Amino acid sequence: MRRRYIYCPNCGARNEVENNFCAMCGTSLREVARRVLAAQPSTPQPAAQPPPKPAPKLPPHVQQTLSPGILVHLFYDKYFKTESSFRADVAVAATLYALEAEGCVALIPSKRGRIRKHDTVEIRKLRDFDPGRFGYLSKQIHKLKRGKSINVYDLVKRAGKMAEHPISRLMELVVENDLTRETWNFLYEERVRRVKRSLLDKLLLLPGEFRSTVEREENIRLYEPQAERLSQLVARRMREKPAIHEIIQRECAEALEDLTYVPSEDWY
């Protein structure tokens, strides 16, 4: 802090501004100090800080919470991807773990098959729940009566569809069923790019426009806290019950492989 001084009007000696009398000649310095202090500018006050901006919120017309399957789909690379997983099996596992955490189901190691037995996980329904919260992958469980069960293989087989790429098709079904139109528009943007076609292009019936879907990253980030909490639940279940998680992965892979549609070759 810079020290301030005043000078005695009688002898000219330098004194500190707090001195009431000159240290050299004893002359009163009160009036001099009053005038000096009045003439000095006041200590500048720090500029007022603008109030913090409120955290962005989800608009009321979109879904405030997303299903586990959608959260895995949107945040797979950031929170759920591992060397041994793929998007569909994590979506199934996350849905089952979320249902288990809410006390809706019990996950029990079991067997399926009559002759060749396969390890599976039995999903036993314990109580009713809102399938809208847990999404498309929970609908087969929701249809069960309390106390009844379905295994992971049958759950995935019934949820999926025959397709050349059943993993992608299953996730498409999750998106189609778990997002309202308003929420889809909030998360994605559809872009159309038109191209100029030559006469040959037109004769060959080549399209004059191309459509692409782009994620609205700022809007997707509003759901990140939900994805982070779900990823913590999935990671905890993987640590606590690694054998069950491994079976869920294997059963998902087998069910989706059995849904693979191989188009027949046409011979001319």
Report the distance separating Cα 26 and Cα 29, nearest Å: 9
pLDDT at residue 39 in the model: 63
pLDDT at residue 22 in the model: 76
Q: Which helix (H) or strand (E) holds 239?
A: helix 224-240
Report the distance separating Cα 241 and Cα 188, nearest Å: 36
**pLDDT per position in the chain (268 positions), as tens?**
456 677 777 777 777 777 777 777 777 877 777 777 666 555 555 666 777 766 678 999 999 999 999 999 999 999 999 888 889 999 999 999 999 999 999 999 999 988 888 999 999 999 999 999 999 999 999 999 999 999 999 999 999 999 999 999 999 999 999 999 999 999 999 866 676 767 666 666 666 666 678 889 999 999 999 999 999 999 999 999 999 999 999 999 999 999 998 776 654 4
CA nearest to 148, candidates 125, 120, 121: 125
Helix, strand counts (H, E) of the chain: 12, 7
154 class by beta-carbon count within 10 Å (0-12 exposed, 13-18 middle, 19+ buried):
middle
Report the distance separating Cα 121 and Cα 141, nearest Å: 13
pLDDT at residue 268 in the model: 45
Residue 258: CB atoms within 10 Å = 13
Catalogue the long-range contacts made by 236-242 (C-beta closer than 8 Å, 24 or more residues apart).
Answer: 237/93, 237/97, 237/100, 241/107
Q: Would you call 234 helix, strand, or coil by DSSP?
A: helix
Helix axes 68-75, 224-240, angle to 10 degrees: 100
Report the distance separating Cα 252 and Cα 92, nearest Å: 8
Report the distance separating Cα 98 and Cα 91, nearest Å: 11
Q: Would you call 213 helix, strand, or coil by DSSP?
A: strand
8 within 8 A of 24, measured Cβ to Cβ? yes
Report the distance separating Cα 253 and Cα 93, nearest Å: 12
pLDDT at residue 74 in the model: 96
Torsion angles phi and psi, residue 163, rounded to 5: -160, 160
Report the distance separating Cα 88 and Cα 249, nearest Å: 9
Residue 95: CB atoms within 10 Å = 27
pLDDT at residue 3 in the model: 60
